[in-house]
Homo-oligomer: A and B are copies of this chain.
Amino acid sequence: MALYLGIDGGGTGCRAAVADASGRILGLGQAGPANIASDPDSAAANILQALDIALKAAGGGTIHAAGLGLAGANAAGAPDRLRAALPFEHVAIVTDAITAIKGALGPDDGIVAALGTGSVFASQIGGTIRQIGGRGLVLGDEASGAWIGRALLAQTLRAVDGFTHFTPLLQGVLQEHGSPDAIVARSLTSRPADFATLAPRVAKSSDPAAAAIMAQATKDTAEAIALLQPFNSLPVTFLGGLGPAFAARLHHLAQRPAKGTALDGALLLARQAA
Contact = CB atoms under 8 A, between A and B. Distances in A.
Interface of A: 74-76, 132-133, 135-136, 138-140, 150, 153-154, 157-158, 161-163, 179-185, 187-188, 190, 223-224, 227
Q: For chain A, what secondary structure do more than half of its interface residues adopt (helix, strand, loop), or is it mixed?
A: helix
B162 A132 contact: yes
B162 A139 contact: no
A140 B163 CA distance: 12
B181 A74 contact: yes
The number of times this chain is found in the oligomer is 2
Contact of A188 (B138, B150, B162, B163): B138
A139 B154 contact: yes
A45 B264 CA distance: 60
Contacts of A75: 181, 185
A71 to B, nearest CB: 13
19 contacts: A75-B181, A76-B181, A76-B182, A132-B162, A132-B163, A133-B161, A135-B154, A135-B180, A135-B187, A136-B187, A138-B188, A138-B190, A139-B153, A139-B184, A140-B157, A140-B158, A161-B227, A163-B223, A163-B224
